[in-house]
Amino acid sequence: MSARHGDWHLLGYDEDPVPGSWTDIQDAGTHYTRVANKIESQVRRLRNLADDDEILKGEYADGLRESCRDTADDLERAQGRFETVGSQLGQWWEPVQTARTETWGALQDAEEAQRSLDQNPEPMPRPYGGPELTPDQQDARDRQQRHHDNAVGAMEAARGRARRALEPYDEKAESVAKAIRDASDDDMKDSRWDRFKNWIDDNAGWLKTVADIIGWVVTVVAVVALFCTPAGWVLALVAAIALVGVGIRFMLAASGNGSWADFAIDLVGVLTLGTGKIAASLAKVGRTATLRAIAPRAANLARGRAVTAAREAFTNARWFRKPGVWLTRSNPISRWMAGRTAYTTTKHAWLTKELPDVTRVETLLAGLDDGAAAMRKELAALRTQFPDLVSPMYSRSATAALRAAQVGTGVDALDKSLGGIPGVWDGVGPYGDLKDTTKYAPGGHLG
Protein backbone atom coordinates (compact mmCIF):
# COMPACT_ATOMS: atom_id res chain seq x y z
CA MET A 1 0.00 0.00 0.00
CA SER A 2 1.35 3.41 -0.92
CA ALA A 3 -0.01 6.91 -0.47
CA ARG A 4 0.45 9.44 -3.27
CA HIS A 5 2.08 12.70 -2.32
CA GLY A 6 0.43 15.97 -3.27
CA ASP A 7 -1.54 18.99 -1.97
CA TRP A 8 -4.61 16.94 -1.06
CA HIS A 9 -5.84 19.72 1.21
CA LEU A 10 -6.87 21.56 -1.97
CA LEU A 11 -9.56 18.90 -2.38
CA GLY A 12 -10.47 18.98 1.30
CA TYR A 13 -8.46 15.91 2.42
CA ASP A 14 -5.57 15.76 4.87
CA GLU A 15 -3.92 12.97 2.88
CA ASP A 16 -4.44 10.68 -0.09
CA PRO A 17 -8.10 9.52 0.19
CA VAL A 18 -7.41 6.34 -1.81
CA PRO A 19 -4.03 5.08 -0.53
CA GLY A 20 -4.54 1.47 -1.61
CA SER A 21 -2.73 -0.25 -4.47
CA TRP A 22 -5.26 -1.85 -6.78
CA THR A 23 -2.66 -4.32 -8.09
CA ASP A 24 -2.01 -5.55 -4.55
CA ILE A 25 -5.77 -6.01 -4.06
CA GLN A 26 -6.05 -7.90 -7.34
CA ASP A 27 -3.12 -10.15 -6.39
CA ALA A 28 -4.59 -10.78 -2.95
CA GLY A 29 -7.99 -11.68 -4.45
CA THR A 30 -6.31 -14.16 -6.80
CA HIS A 31 -4.37 -15.63 -3.89
CA TYR A 32 -7.46 -16.15 -1.72
CA THR A 33 -9.35 -17.69 -4.62
CA ARG A 34 -6.52 -20.15 -5.26
CA VAL A 35 -6.42 -21.07 -1.56
CA ALA A 36 -10.20 -21.63 -1.63
CA ASN A 37 -9.82 -23.92 -4.65
CA LYS A 38 -7.08 -25.92 -2.95
CA ILE A 39 -9.19 -26.27 0.19
CA GLU A 40 -12.13 -27.40 -1.93
CA SER A 41 -10.04 -30.17 -3.49
CA GLN A 42 -8.92 -31.33 -0.07
CA VAL A 43 -12.52 -31.37 1.15
CA ARG A 44 -13.47 -33.64 -1.76
CA ARG A 45 -10.64 -36.01 -0.90
CA LEU A 46 -11.65 -36.16 2.75
CA ARG A 47 -15.29 -36.84 1.88
CA ASN A 48 -14.23 -39.57 -0.55
CA LEU A 49 -12.21 -41.16 2.25
CA ALA A 50 -15.16 -40.96 4.61
CA ASP A 51 -17.67 -42.40 2.09
CA ASP A 52 -15.53 -45.19 0.62
CA ASP A 53 -15.78 -48.36 2.71
CA GLU A 54 -12.97 -49.96 0.76
CA ILE A 55 -10.28 -47.39 1.66
CA LEU A 56 -10.59 -47.27 5.44
CA LYS A 57 -10.85 -50.69 7.07
CA GLY A 58 -10.12 -52.17 10.42
CA GLU A 59 -10.90 -51.45 14.06
CA TYR A 60 -10.45 -47.69 13.79
CA ALA A 61 -12.14 -47.18 10.41
CA ASP A 62 -15.36 -45.73 11.83
CA GLY A 63 -13.49 -43.23 13.99
CA LEU A 64 -11.29 -42.19 11.07
CA ARG A 65 -14.30 -41.70 8.83
CA GLU A 66 -15.94 -39.50 11.45
CA SER A 67 -12.75 -37.46 11.81
CA CYS A 68 -12.57 -37.06 8.03
CA ARG A 69 -16.16 -35.78 7.94
CA ASP A 70 -15.58 -33.33 10.81
CA THR A 71 -12.36 -32.05 9.26
CA ALA A 72 -14.09 -31.72 5.87
CA ASP A 73 -16.89 -29.70 7.50
CA ASP A 74 -14.41 -27.33 9.15
CA LEU A 75 -12.39 -26.95 5.98
CA GLU A 76 -15.56 -26.32 3.99
CA ARG A 77 -16.43 -23.40 6.24
CA ALA A 78 -12.89 -22.07 5.90
CA GLN A 79 -13.14 -22.56 2.14
CA GLY A 80 -16.28 -20.42 2.14
CA ARG A 81 -14.45 -17.64 3.90
CA PHE A 82 -11.52 -17.69 1.48
CA GLU A 83 -13.85 -17.94 -1.50
CA THR A 84 -15.86 -14.92 -0.34
CA VAL A 85 -12.77 -12.85 0.39
CA GLY A 86 -11.27 -13.72 -2.98
CA SER A 87 -14.50 -12.91 -4.78
CA GLN A 88 -15.00 -9.61 -2.95
CA LEU A 89 -11.41 -8.49 -3.53
CA GLY A 90 -11.87 -9.42 -7.17
CA GLN A 91 -14.76 -6.94 -7.26
CA TRP A 92 -12.91 -4.36 -5.18
CA TRP A 93 -9.74 -3.69 -7.14
CA GLU A 94 -11.46 -2.06 -10.09
CA PRO A 95 -13.32 0.60 -7.98
CA VAL A 96 -9.99 1.34 -6.26
CA GLN A 97 -8.28 1.75 -9.63
CA THR A 98 -11.04 4.05 -10.87
CA ALA A 99 -11.10 6.11 -7.67
CA ARG A 100 -7.32 6.50 -7.69
CA THR A 101 -7.33 7.59 -11.32
CA GLU A 102 -10.14 10.09 -10.82
CA THR A 103 -8.86 11.57 -7.56
CA TRP A 104 -5.39 11.94 -9.03
CA GLY A 105 -6.86 13.73 -12.03
CA ALA A 106 -8.89 15.93 -9.68
CA LEU A 107 -5.73 16.75 -7.74
CA GLN A 108 -3.95 17.84 -10.92
CA ASP A 109 -6.96 20.04 -11.80
CA ALA A 110 -6.97 21.54 -8.30
CA GLU A 111 -3.26 22.28 -8.35
CA GLU A 112 -3.61 23.95 -11.75
CA ALA A 113 -6.54 26.00 -10.41
CA GLN A 114 -4.48 26.99 -7.37
CA ARG A 115 -1.65 28.20 -9.61
CA SER A 116 -4.17 30.30 -11.55
CA LEU A 117 -5.56 31.70 -8.28
CA ASP A 118 -2.05 32.61 -7.15
CA GLN A 119 -1.49 34.46 -10.41
CA ASN A 120 -4.94 36.08 -10.44
CA PRO A 121 -6.00 37.12 -6.95
CA GLU A 122 -9.41 38.69 -6.63
CA PRO A 123 -9.14 42.42 -7.50
CA MET A 124 -9.44 44.83 -4.61
CA PRO A 125 -12.61 46.97 -4.70
CA ARG A 126 -12.17 50.61 -5.70
CA PRO A 127 -11.75 52.74 -2.58
CA TYR A 128 -14.81 54.79 -1.69
CA GLY A 129 -14.45 58.26 -3.13
CA GLY A 130 -11.36 57.26 -5.12
CA PRO A 131 -10.73 58.22 -8.72
CA GLU A 132 -12.66 56.52 -11.44
CA LEU A 133 -10.82 53.78 -13.33
CA THR A 134 -9.78 54.46 -16.88
CA PRO A 135 -11.25 52.17 -19.59
CA ASP A 136 -7.94 50.30 -19.83
CA GLN A 137 -7.75 49.86 -16.06
CA GLN A 138 -11.35 48.68 -15.96
CA ASP A 139 -10.68 46.16 -18.75
CA ALA A 140 -7.61 44.83 -16.90
CA ARG A 141 -9.60 44.59 -13.70
CA ASP A 142 -12.42 42.75 -15.47
CA ARG A 143 -9.96 40.30 -17.07
CA GLN A 144 -8.36 39.59 -13.72
CA GLN A 145 -11.80 39.08 -12.17
CA ARG A 146 -12.78 36.65 -14.96
CA HIS A 147 -9.54 34.67 -14.56
CA HIS A 148 -10.05 34.58 -10.81
CA ASP A 149 -13.67 33.44 -11.14
CA ASN A 150 -12.67 30.79 -13.68
CA ALA A 151 -9.99 29.50 -11.31
CA VAL A 152 -12.48 29.38 -8.44
CA GLY A 153 -14.88 27.48 -10.68
CA ALA A 154 -12.12 25.08 -11.72
CA MET A 155 -11.25 24.44 -8.08
CA GLU A 156 -14.87 23.68 -7.24
CA ALA A 157 -15.11 21.41 -10.28
CA ALA A 158 -11.99 19.52 -9.16
CA ARG A 159 -13.44 19.04 -5.69
CA GLY A 160 -16.73 17.87 -7.20
CA ARG A 161 -14.85 15.41 -9.39
CA ALA A 162 -13.09 13.98 -6.33
CA ARG A 163 -16.36 13.71 -4.37
CA ARG A 164 -18.12 11.97 -7.27
CA ALA A 165 -15.23 9.51 -7.57
CA LEU A 166 -15.27 8.68 -3.86
CA GLU A 167 -19.02 8.15 -3.48
CA PRO A 168 -19.16 4.79 -5.35
CA TYR A 169 -15.76 3.92 -3.88
CA ASP A 170 -17.03 4.36 -0.31
CA GLU A 171 -20.26 2.49 -1.07
CA LYS A 172 -18.37 -0.43 -2.56
CA ALA A 173 -15.95 -0.42 0.37
CA GLU A 174 -18.85 -0.81 2.80
CA SER A 175 -20.39 -3.55 0.67
CA VAL A 176 -17.13 -5.51 0.43
CA ALA A 177 -16.41 -5.13 4.13
CA LYS A 178 -19.92 -6.29 5.06
CA ALA A 179 -19.72 -9.33 2.78
CA ILE A 180 -16.39 -10.37 4.29
CA ARG A 181 -17.68 -9.85 7.84
CA ASP A 182 -20.81 -11.87 7.09
CA ALA A 183 -18.70 -14.68 5.60
CA SER A 184 -16.66 -14.88 8.80
CA ASP A 185 -19.77 -14.88 11.01
CA ASP A 186 -20.09 -18.63 11.31
CA ASP A 187 -19.45 -21.23 13.99
CA MET A 188 -15.73 -21.34 13.29
CA LYS A 189 -14.04 -19.69 16.24
CA ASP A 190 -11.15 -17.30 15.75
CA SER A 191 -7.98 -18.06 17.63
CA ARG A 192 -6.54 -15.65 20.19
CA TRP A 193 -4.16 -14.46 17.49
CA ASP A 194 -7.09 -13.78 15.16
CA ARG A 195 -8.91 -11.80 17.85
CA PHE A 196 -5.73 -9.89 18.69
CA LYS A 197 -5.07 -9.12 15.01
CA ASN A 198 -8.67 -8.01 14.49
CA TRP A 199 -8.37 -5.62 17.43
CA ILE A 200 -5.13 -4.19 16.03
CA ASP A 201 -6.77 -3.85 12.60
CA ASP A 202 -9.62 -1.85 14.13
CA ASN A 203 -7.33 0.40 16.19
CA ALA A 204 -4.29 0.68 13.94
CA GLY A 205 -4.89 4.37 13.23
CA TRP A 206 -4.62 5.73 16.75
CA LEU A 207 -1.96 3.17 17.73
CA LYS A 208 0.29 4.41 14.92
CA THR A 209 -0.34 8.01 16.01
CA VAL A 210 0.64 7.16 19.60
CA ALA A 211 3.81 5.41 18.39
CA ASP A 212 4.74 8.43 16.25
CA ILE A 213 4.15 10.82 19.16
CA ILE A 214 6.29 8.67 21.48
CA GLY A 215 9.09 8.67 18.92
CA TRP A 216 9.04 12.45 18.69
CA VAL A 217 8.82 12.90 22.48
CA VAL A 218 11.96 10.81 22.96
CA THR A 219 13.75 12.77 20.24
CA VAL A 220 12.70 16.15 21.68
CA VAL A 221 13.87 15.18 25.18
CA ALA A 222 17.24 14.14 23.72
CA VAL A 223 17.58 17.53 22.03
CA VAL A 224 16.48 19.42 25.16
CA ALA A 225 19.17 17.55 27.10
CA LEU A 226 21.71 19.50 25.00
CA PHE A 227 20.73 22.66 26.84
CA CYS A 228 19.81 21.36 30.28
CA THR A 229 20.28 18.15 32.22
CA PRO A 230 16.91 16.43 32.87
CA ALA A 231 16.35 14.83 36.25
CA GLY A 232 17.09 11.12 36.48
CA TRP A 233 13.45 10.21 36.92
CA VAL A 234 12.61 12.10 33.72
CA LEU A 235 15.10 10.02 31.74
CA ALA A 236 13.79 6.82 33.33
CA LEU A 237 10.22 7.79 32.42
CA VAL A 238 11.26 8.57 28.84
CA ALA A 239 13.00 5.17 28.59
CA ALA A 240 9.84 3.43 29.81
CA ILE A 241 7.72 5.37 27.31
CA ALA A 242 10.16 4.47 24.52
CA LEU A 243 9.74 0.79 25.45
CA VAL A 244 5.96 1.18 25.18
CA GLY A 245 6.45 2.69 21.72
CA VAL A 246 8.51 -0.33 20.65
CA GLY A 247 5.75 -2.63 21.89
CA ILE A 248 3.17 -0.76 19.83
CA ARG A 249 5.40 -0.88 16.75
CA PHE A 250 5.76 -4.64 17.20
CA MET A 251 1.99 -5.17 17.45
CA LEU A 252 1.40 -3.07 14.33
CA ALA A 253 4.10 -4.88 12.37
CA ALA A 254 3.05 -8.35 13.53
CA SER A 255 -0.54 -7.71 12.45
CA GLY A 256 0.47 -6.32 9.05
CA ASN A 257 -0.62 -2.77 9.93
CA GLY A 258 2.86 -1.36 10.34
CA SER A 259 6.29 -1.87 8.87
CA TRP A 260 8.99 -3.99 10.46
CA ALA A 261 11.41 -1.21 9.50
CA ASP A 262 9.66 1.17 11.94
CA PHE A 263 9.83 -1.51 14.64
CA ALA A 264 13.52 -2.15 13.96
CA ILE A 265 14.35 1.57 14.09
CA ASP A 266 12.57 2.05 17.42
CA LEU A 267 14.11 -1.16 18.75
CA VAL A 268 17.58 0.12 17.86
CA GLY A 269 16.83 3.22 19.94
CA VAL A 270 15.78 1.22 23.01
CA LEU A 271 18.58 -1.35 22.66
CA THR A 272 21.26 1.30 22.27
CA LEU A 273 19.75 3.19 25.20
CA GLY A 274 19.93 0.05 27.36
CA THR A 275 23.38 -0.87 26.08
CA GLY A 276 24.58 2.66 26.67
CA LYS A 277 23.31 2.66 30.26
CA ILE A 278 24.96 -0.69 31.03
CA ALA A 279 28.21 0.39 29.37
CA ALA A 280 28.11 3.72 31.25
CA SER A 281 27.70 1.87 34.56
CA LEU A 282 30.67 -0.38 33.77
CA ALA A 283 32.64 2.66 32.67
CA LYS A 284 32.03 4.29 36.07
CA VAL A 285 33.48 1.22 37.79
CA GLY A 286 36.48 1.28 35.44
CA ARG A 287 36.88 5.01 35.99
CA THR A 288 36.98 4.57 39.76
CA ALA A 289 39.67 1.90 39.41
CA THR A 290 41.62 4.16 37.05
CA LEU A 291 41.50 7.15 39.40
CA ARG A 292 42.55 5.00 42.36
CA ALA A 293 45.54 3.77 40.38
CA ILE A 294 46.50 7.24 39.18
CA ALA A 295 46.00 9.08 42.50
CA PRO A 296 49.14 7.74 44.33
CA ARG A 297 51.41 8.30 41.34
CA ALA A 298 50.06 11.79 40.68
CA ALA A 299 50.38 12.57 44.41
CA ASN A 300 54.01 11.40 44.50
CA LEU A 301 54.78 13.53 41.47
CA ALA A 302 53.15 16.52 43.13
CA ARG A 303 55.09 15.90 46.37
CA GLY A 304 58.36 15.72 44.47
CA ARG A 305 57.60 18.93 42.63
CA ALA A 306 56.69 20.71 45.89
CA VAL A 307 59.85 19.61 47.69
CA THR A 308 62.05 20.47 44.69
CA ALA A 309 60.42 23.88 44.34
CA ALA A 310 61.00 24.63 48.02
CA ARG A 311 64.63 23.49 47.82
CA GLU A 312 65.39 25.45 44.63
CA ALA A 313 63.60 28.60 45.75
CA PHE A 314 65.51 28.84 49.02
CA THR A 315 68.86 27.31 48.17
CA ASN A 316 70.61 30.41 49.47
CA ALA A 317 68.24 30.94 52.38
CA ARG A 318 70.78 30.00 55.11
CA TRP A 319 69.77 30.52 58.69
CA PHE A 320 72.31 33.24 59.19
CA ARG A 321 71.25 35.15 56.04
CA LYS A 322 67.43 34.92 56.17
CA PRO A 323 66.59 33.27 59.44
CA GLY A 324 62.85 34.07 59.15
CA VAL A 325 62.53 32.40 55.76
CA TRP A 326 64.65 29.44 56.79
CA LEU A 327 62.64 28.81 59.95
CA THR A 328 59.23 29.02 58.25
CA ARG A 329 59.71 27.70 54.69
CA SER A 330 63.13 26.37 53.76
CA ASN A 331 64.22 24.04 56.50
CA PRO A 332 63.94 20.26 56.04
CA ILE A 333 60.83 19.98 58.20
CA SER A 334 59.04 22.70 56.22
CA ARG A 335 60.01 21.03 52.94
CA TRP A 336 58.67 17.71 54.22
CA MET A 337 55.40 19.36 55.25
CA ALA A 338 55.06 21.06 51.82
CA GLY A 339 55.55 17.71 50.10
CA ARG A 340 53.12 15.98 52.45
CA THR A 341 50.48 18.65 51.86
CA ALA A 342 50.90 18.43 48.07
CA TYR A 343 50.65 14.62 48.22
CA THR A 344 47.46 14.60 50.30
CA THR A 345 45.79 17.40 48.35
CA THR A 346 46.61 15.89 44.95
CA LYS A 347 45.54 12.38 45.93
CA HIS A 348 42.22 13.64 47.28
CA ALA A 349 41.66 15.71 44.13
CA TRP A 350 42.15 12.68 41.89
CA LEU A 351 39.95 10.41 44.02
CA THR A 352 37.13 12.97 43.98
CA LYS A 353 37.74 14.16 40.41
CA GLU A 354 34.60 15.19 38.49
CA LEU A 355 34.12 14.53 34.79
CA PRO A 356 35.23 17.48 32.66
CA ASP A 357 32.72 19.96 31.27
CA VAL A 358 31.84 19.49 27.61
CA THR A 359 30.57 21.85 24.95
CA ARG A 360 27.29 21.40 23.08
CA VAL A 361 29.24 20.48 19.97
CA GLU A 362 31.06 17.71 21.87
CA THR A 363 27.73 16.48 23.21
CA LEU A 364 26.24 16.53 19.70
CA LEU A 365 29.16 14.52 18.32
CA ALA A 366 28.70 12.02 21.14
CA GLY A 367 25.13 11.25 20.08
CA LEU A 368 23.53 13.79 22.49
CA ASP A 369 24.96 11.91 25.51
CA ASP A 370 26.89 14.42 27.63
CA GLY A 371 28.13 11.67 29.96
CA ALA A 372 29.68 9.74 27.07
CA ALA A 373 31.14 12.98 25.71
CA ALA A 374 32.71 13.82 29.09
CA MET A 375 34.23 10.33 29.48
CA ARG A 376 35.60 10.51 25.95
CA LYS A 377 37.24 13.85 26.74
CA GLU A 378 38.68 12.64 30.04
CA LEU A 379 40.05 9.43 28.50
CA ALA A 380 41.93 11.42 25.87
CA ALA A 381 43.66 13.42 28.63
CA LEU A 382 44.38 10.38 30.82
CA ARG A 383 45.91 8.39 27.95
CA THR A 384 48.34 11.29 27.46
CA GLN A 385 49.26 11.66 31.14
CA PHE A 386 49.08 8.09 32.45
CA PRO A 387 48.67 5.70 29.49
CA ASP A 388 49.68 2.61 31.50
CA LEU A 389 47.20 3.26 34.32
CA VAL A 390 43.95 3.63 32.33
CA SER A 391 41.68 0.67 33.11
CA PRO A 392 40.71 -1.38 30.02
CA MET A 393 37.18 -1.59 31.46
CA TYR A 394 36.94 2.20 31.54
CA SER A 395 38.25 2.58 28.00
CA ARG A 396 36.13 -0.16 26.43
CA SER A 397 32.92 0.59 28.34
CA ALA A 398 33.13 4.33 27.70
CA THR A 399 33.69 3.62 24.00
CA ALA A 400 30.69 1.25 23.98
CA ALA A 401 28.48 3.88 25.65
CA LEU A 402 29.65 6.46 23.11
CA ARG A 403 29.00 4.19 20.13
CA ALA A 404 25.57 3.21 21.45
CA ALA A 405 24.58 6.87 21.77
CA GLN A 406 25.92 7.70 18.32
CA VAL A 407 24.19 4.76 16.64
CA GLY A 408 20.85 5.26 18.40
CA THR A 409 20.77 9.01 17.82
CA GLY A 410 22.07 8.67 14.25
CA VAL A 411 19.42 6.14 13.26
CA ASP A 412 16.67 8.19 14.90
CA ALA A 413 17.84 11.44 13.30
CA LEU A 414 18.06 9.83 9.86
CA ASP A 415 14.58 8.32 10.21
CA LYS A 416 13.05 11.57 11.44
CA SER A 417 14.72 13.66 8.73
CA LEU A 418 13.64 11.33 5.92
CA GLY A 419 10.28 10.33 7.37
CA GLY A 420 8.97 13.85 7.99
CA ILE A 421 6.69 15.21 10.69
CA PRO A 422 3.09 13.89 10.84
CA GLY A 423 0.67 16.57 9.70
CA VAL A 424 3.48 19.03 8.92
CA TRP A 425 5.83 17.50 6.37
CA ASP A 426 5.51 14.23 4.47
CA GLY A 427 9.24 13.63 4.29
CA VAL A 428 11.11 12.06 1.40
CA GLY A 429 8.58 10.13 -0.68
CA PRO A 430 10.63 7.03 -1.62
CA TYR A 431 11.71 6.55 2.00
CA GLY A 432 8.16 6.01 3.27
CA ASP A 433 7.36 3.75 0.33
CA LEU A 434 10.50 1.73 1.00
CA LYS A 435 9.52 1.18 4.63
CA ASP A 436 6.05 0.12 3.52
CA THR A 437 7.60 -2.79 1.62
CA THR A 438 8.54 -4.34 4.97
CA LYS A 439 4.91 -4.75 6.03
CA TYR A 440 4.33 -8.42 6.60
CA ALA A 441 2.10 -10.42 8.90
CA PRO A 442 2.17 -14.19 9.46
CA GLY A 443 0.04 -15.76 6.74
CA GLY A 444 -0.16 -12.47 4.88
CA HIS A 445 1.66 -10.69 2.11
CA LEU A 446 4.37 -8.18 1.79
CA GLY A 447 2.67 -4.80 1.86
pLDDT of residue 156 exceeding 60, the answer is: yes
For residues 73 and 80, give the distance between their C-alpha atoms in angstroms, rounded to a whole number. Answer: 11
Residue 322 clears pLDDT 80, i.e. is over it:
no
The mean pLDDT of the chain is 77
Q: For the chain, what is the largest distance between any 2 Cα atoms, rounded to a whole number of angstroms?
A: 133
Output the pLDDT for position 104.
Answer: 92
**Residue spans per domain, the chain:** 8-189, 203-447
Q: Compute CA 289 distance to the chain's CA centroid, rounded to the nearest angstrom.
A: 38
DSSP single-letter state for residue 16: -
Is residue 435 scored above 80 in pLDDT?
no
CB 411 within 8 A of CB 219: no
Domain range 8-189, CATH class: mainly alpha
pLDDT tens string 2-13: 678 888 999 998
Report the range out of 37-41, 62-66, 335-339 with the highest average pLDDT.
37-41
**What pLDDT is recorded for position 117?**
87
pLDDT tier, 239 (very low <50, low <70, confident <90, very high otherwise) = confident
pLDDT at 443: 44
Please state the rounded mean pLDDT for residues 13-18: 88
Q: How far apart are the first and last CA of the chain?
A: 6
Alpha helices (H) in 356-443, listed in sequence order: 360-365, 370-385, 392-419, 429-436
Cα 208 from Cα 293, distance rounded (Å): 52
Q: What's the rounded Cα separation, in Å, for the pair 442 and 423?
A: 31
Q: Could you give the C-alpha distances from 95 to 164, 168, 347, 443, in angstroms and in order?
A: 12, 8, 81, 26
Instruction: Please say if the pLDDT value at position 444 is more than 50.
Output: no
Residue 198 near residue 103, CB atoms below 8 Å: no
**Number of C-beta neighbours around residue 97 at 10 A:** 17
Task: Give 130's DSSP letter.
Answer: P
- Is the pLDDT score of 96 beyond 50? yes
Packing angle, helices 332-351 and 260-313, rounded to 10: 180
- Residue 246 pLDDT level (bands cut at 50, 70, 90): confident
Of 230-244, 317-331, 399-413, give the range with the top mean pLDDT.
399-413
Burial class (CB in 10 A: 0-12, 13-18, 19+), 370: buried
| pLDDT score of 323 | 58
Q: Please name the amino acid found at residue 15.
A: E
Q: Which of 30, 22, 176 is nearest to 103 (CA)?
A: 22
Residue 446 has a pLDDT of 42
Q: How far apart are CA 292 and CA 16, in angstroms?
A: 64
Average pLDDT over residues 67-86: 78
Instruction: Report the pLDDT averaged over residues 170-189.
Output: 77
Q: What is the pLDDT of residues 256-301, one digit of tens each?
A: 777 777 777 777 776 776 666 777 778 888 888 988 998 888 888 8
Q: Average of pLDDT values for 410-419?
A: 70
